[in-house]
Structure 1
Amino acid sequence: MDHSRRRTSGEGRRATTLELFYDLVFVFAITQVSHLLLEHLTWAGVGQSLLVLLVVWWSWNYTTWVTNELDTEAISVRLLMISLMLLSLLMSVAIPQAFEERALLFAGSYVAIQVGRHIFLTFIAYGPGTVERERAGRILTWFVVAGVLWIAGALVDGPARVVLWLAALALDYVAPLVLYWVPGRRRLAGATWSVGTEHFAERFQLFIIIALGETIVITGATTSDLDLGWARLAAFGMAFVTTAAMWWLYFNYVARIAQRRLELSEDRTTLARDGYTYLHVLMVAGIIVSAVGDELVIAYPREVLALPEIAVVVAGPGLYLLAHALFRRRMTGSWGSKRLLGAAGCLAVGAAGPLVPALVLAGLVIAVLAAVIASEHVAAVRRTRRGEPTPLERLEASANRGEPTP
């Protein structure tokens, strides 16, 4: 039985309600990662939080690639998605003690998600002899090998667990770069994958919304549990403004231009892999760290924060802006100088952290974000006054002339 997504000529492919339902689990997962980082503001805690985030992201990311091609109206696909959703929820429940007593639940759920999904693709979704089955079998092979390391790591303690899990994570993240090469088999080409650009880009945009929504949840939950004075209310407002600024920076024009670049690319699979699969997780990490910083500022608005807490407040927005610059570099071949300067500005603001209360520090970070947004708006206004096309108009003009894109 063919489970490929049905395609109608001239009809755009959008995210389905099943995919949106599936995403609900990852609101909880992102919240769990944020709490893990907040409770362990040490280098070890940062490393653990990063590893957990990369696992959560890899689980969601592969499902997005799969649903980009599968027909989510098929009953078997729906059952697969609901099963993956339950396993993802179990994985998320285990996150706070992922490196302690719930290591096996965390690793076992993740392995079951990745291996189970690709068993379905290899033996149920696609017919014998098809390139899709061959492709799914290659991916399954990589996940089985990595899965042995994940489970082995869960069964040991201490540094051995970390070493085994880092090795497993390295295998997971290297696999797409080598297109799931298996010794003795011919190499796959990027064209083996079909990327429906509108659906694909929308799914990653929605995950950014999930991460931003998690910051709103943390902001509201933290504030509701504390006594409210003018300083805390000001910190609450600043947290919201920071989240709104991050939304603005991504959805003002970055999302549209990136989607169009992907659509026009001659090597769509590689661009989608690099720009979305790898670089978007840096944006999500920046949002999560920023959410933790917001929670600290709301909790202690009048106090001078400790150095690890200062680092969190400035590093979140800084990492987010840096990820944007890297994303632009990969998608367009040029650097976003204003966002790079903004990232440097966030780090520079950190130098004032030991001298000012948390509320002032948060205000300085917002000033940097506002400066980036304002400078880009001013540049756009000046471009319009000179009669120059917008970046999206230039892209469309190049496409009409038949010029190649990245």
Structure 2
Amino acid sequence: MARLLRKREHPRQASALELFFDLSFILGLALLSRRLFHELTWGNTLETLILFAGVYWIWIATAWATDWYNPNDPIIKGLVLGIMFVGLVMVAAIPGAFGAHGFIFAGAYVLVHFGRGAVLLTLLRGHPLQHRSLLILIWFAVSGVTWLVGAFRPETERVVLWLVALAIDYGIAWLGWPTPGLGRVPDENLRNVGEHLSERYQQVFIIALGEVILINGLAYAGAGITALRTLAFGLAFLNVVLLWRGYMIPGDLRIGGILDQSRPRLAVSVALCHATVIGGTLLTAVGNEVLITNPLGAPQGAWVMLIVGGAALFLIGRVMYHVSVFHRLPWPGLAGLAILGLLSPVLLLLQPLSISLVTNFALFGAVVVDIYLIGRAVREGRIATSSGDTPLTMGRDDKR
């Protein structure tokens, strides 16, 4: 059993198997964006984000599994490949998940989590870590009932039940899977290899940005290359650059050391932050596609929802990240959110090109100011680093 566990001396970089597994996430993002683009309504946006949260939880649970267990062990390799196949079936059901394919989506989701838990529970028989697998499996069984019941209910009830199921999955993980009569998972059993998990988070975000570039490039090529669409494509590209740089403000200052040294629950908080950031990136991909294909279209609330909503979700995720990791409220991000919120009523009257200009302006301000303030904090010693670029601590009195 000991050979199944990841040891500290094992390589901390992501394995080829993990990178291969990420390919299934690419398909999921592509189908989610197609689903949203073909029905630009508030209801469909909520449904798409619910499906995204389910797909992301498959990814993060697998990332934790390969962080806790040795990804080079043949049994773990087989488990990850099995999860990948069932996950592909699940994402293939995304277009009809709130219709005829609800059971396929929910059934595959439950099978992944319950199957992984059952396999690990069996493999760890007699090992102290079996208790961790048992508690996690119990709670996935609880949420699984809600997922499966929702799959057989009408669309509105399905939305509610699947939201409840997601609240169970995400919320109970953050609490450490507390179970009546069995306690919760001890902190020492939730520790991560910080460098590995930090790299995995960055990889999945880069994948999300790659999906944005792919969708926007195909839209630009397919809609016909004109001067106006080239301008729109330039704004979309600037938007992607700002998302990348906005993420890499804390991303360049890697959190591997922080995850190694901090309370284990931080890994769950960072996972939730990334869910928000990547959800915003998903909305941005579709919003930029609208911008490129119809830059001067008649004003629509759905376009504001996508273009502004994507940037807003991204900034919210960054704010959550800074609060969780650095224990501070980043006022540039909050200012960017305030600008977008205050201008939203006006943006409802504008065309996609103008909406994108305002959104990029807010993002640009938040990113540039944050870069300056982080650089100043490093120079003044309020961010301690190792190897020149890896922060280990940030003072709680950092007021930037």
What is the TM-score when the length of structure 2 is the normalising length?
0.91
Whether contact under 8 Å (2:194, 2:255) holds in the other structure is: no
Distance 1:39 1:313 in 2: 16
Distance 1:200 1:209 in 2: 14
Q: 1:168 is matched with which residue: 146, 156, 165?
A: 165
Distance 1:8 1:170 in 2: 33
Distance 1:354 1:181 in 2: 45
- Equivalent residue for 1:36? 35
Whether contact under 8 Å (1:311, 1:350) holds in the other structure is: no
- Equivalent residue for 1:154? 151
Pairs within 5 Å for 1:219-258: 219-258=216-255
Q: 1:167 to 1:314 in 2, by over 3 A?
A: closer
Q: 1:399 to 1:52 in 2, by over 3 A?
A: closer
Give 1:230's aligned amino acid: A
Whether contact under 8 Å (2:254, 2:390) holds in the other structure is: no
Q: 1:368 to 1:123 in 2, by over 3 A?
A: same
**Structure 2 residue matching 1:68: 3-state secondary structure:** helix
1:312 pairs with 2:306: yes
Q: 1:264 to 1:292 in 2, by over 3 A?
A: same
Pairs within 5 Å for 1:259-298: 259-265=256-262, 267=263, 269-274=264-269, 276-298=270-292
Moved more, 245-254 or 89-98: 245-254
| 1:296, distance to aligned residue in structure 2 (A) | 0.8
Whether contact under 8 Å (2:192, 2:259) holds in the other structure is: no
Q: 1:166 to 1:372 in 2, by over 3 A?
A: closer
Question: What 5-or-longer segments of structure 1 have no aligned partner?
Answer: none
Q: 1:59 to 1:382 in 2, by over 3 A?
A: closer
Spell out, residue by residue over 1:220-276, the C-alpha distance to the aligned partner (whole angstroms, 9 max, x if none).
1211211221111111111111111111111134452533322332x1x111111x2
Give 1:247's aligned amino acid: W
Q: 1:398 to 1:205 in 2, by over 3 A?
A: closer
Q: 1:341 to 1:153 in 2, by over 3 A?
A: same
| 1:389, distance to aligned residue in structure 2 (A) | 2.8
Question: What 5-or-longer segments of structure 2 have no aligned partner?
Answer: none
Pairs within 5 Å for 1:350-369: 350-369=344-363
| 1:337, distance to aligned residue in structure 2 (A) | 0.5
Distance 1:320 1:304 in 2: 26
| 1:86, distance to aligned residue in structure 2 (A) | 0.7
Give 1:389's aligned amino acid: G
Whether contact under 8 Å (2:249, 2:371) holds in the other structure is: no
Give 2:129's aligned amino acid: E
Give 2:40's aligned amino acid: L
- Equivalent residue for 1:116? 115
Whether contact under 8 Å (2:42, 2:302) holds in the other structure is: no
What is the TM-score when the length of structure 1 is the normalising length?
0.90
1:329 pairs with 2:323: yes
Distance 2:390 2:303 in 1: 47
Give 2:41's aligned amino acid: T
Q: 1:272 to 1:376 in 2, by over 3 A?
A: same
Give 2:55's aligned amino acid: V
Distance 1:146 1:396 in 2: 41
| 1:182, distance to aligned residue in structure 2 (A) | 2.3
Give 1:282's aligned amino acid: T
| 1:164, distance to aligned residue in structure 2 (A) | 3.0
Q: 1:360 to 1:175 in 2, by over 3 A?
A: same
Q: 1:229 to 1:256 in 2, by over 3 A?
A: same
1:26 pairs with 2:25: yes
Q: 1:127 is matched with which residue: 100, 125, 128?
A: 125
| 1:57, distance to aligned residue in structure 2 (A) | 1.1
**Structure 1 residue matching 2:353: 3-state secondary structure:** helix
Pairs within 5 Å for 1:56-67: 56-67=55-66
Whether contact under 8 Å (2:279, 2:314) holds in the other structure is: yes
- Equivalent residue for 2:45? 46
- Equivalent residue for 2:381? 389
Distance 2:70 2:376 in 1: 46
Spell out, residue by residue over 1:330-387, the C-alpha distance to the aligned partner (whole angstroms, 9 max, x if none).
1111111011111222334434424443212212222222222322344456668xx5
Spell out, residue by residue over 1:270-309, the C-alpha distance to the aligned partner (whole angstroms, 9 max, x if none).
11111x2222111111111111110110111122330121
Give 1:34's aligned amino acid: S
- Equivalent residue for 1:138? 135
- Equivalent residue for 2:90? 91
Q: 1:196 to 1:363 in 2, by over 3 A?
A: same
Q: 1:160 to 1:322 in 2, by over 3 A?
A: closer
Give 1:388's aligned amino acid: E
Whether contact under 8 Å (1:261, 1:332) holds in the other structure is: no
Q: 1:313 to 1:328 in 2, by over 3 A?
A: same
Give 1:273's aligned amino acid: V
Distance 1:355 1:167 in 2: 35
Whether contact under 8 Å (2:193, 2:259) holds in the other structure is: no
